[in-house]
Amino acid sequence: MAVKPIPEGYHSVTPYLVVRGADKTIEFLKKAFGAQVVFDPLKRPDGTILHSEVKIGDSRVMLSEGTDEHKPMPTMLYLYVPDVDANYQQALAAGGTKMKDPTDEFFGDRTAGVKDPSGNHWEIATHKEDVSPQELKKRVETMFKQGSKAA
């Protein structure tokens, strides 16, 4: 049986978070987004996480504790959920830092933002409206004419 070039359960792109406080980040992801640990942490001799994986919805996220060679670096992730308002409150209750209250966006998603304990920005979204490319272009032009700033 041939080995698959993309392992079962993975997608072509998998986020890999290099963080400070990987244990805390995993606990936050479990409480905030219902993440399930699907690859038990491999530990370094000092007890820090060398590698772990969680699954949020249908997607895996890899994590490790930053080192001198691989320094921690915050990133932004876009997470679709069925109910952005409820999930935003859940993420705040799990220890997330408020970045943006739930807002209906011009591109058809309702979004909110939180920062996890490692400084990663999670943009939480629920898709509310399908917007055609032509309509999206009009909305962007209107937004900039009104002096709004894009994220």
Q: Round to whole Å and give the CA distance between 78 and 13.
A: 13
Q: Round to whole Å and give the CA distance between 53 and 31.
A: 15
Question: What are the pLDDT tens digits along the chain (151 aa)?
Answer: 789 999 999 999 999 999 999 999 999 999 999 999 999 999 999 999 999 999 999 999 999 999 999 999 999 999 999 999 999 999 999 999 999 999 999 999 999 999 999 999 999 999 999 999 999 999 999 989 988 766 5
Q: Which domains does the chain have, with CATH numbers?
A: 16-145 (3.10.180.10)
Residue type, 148: S
In sequence order, which residues have a C-beta less than 8 Å from that of residue 86 and are 6 or more positions away?
none
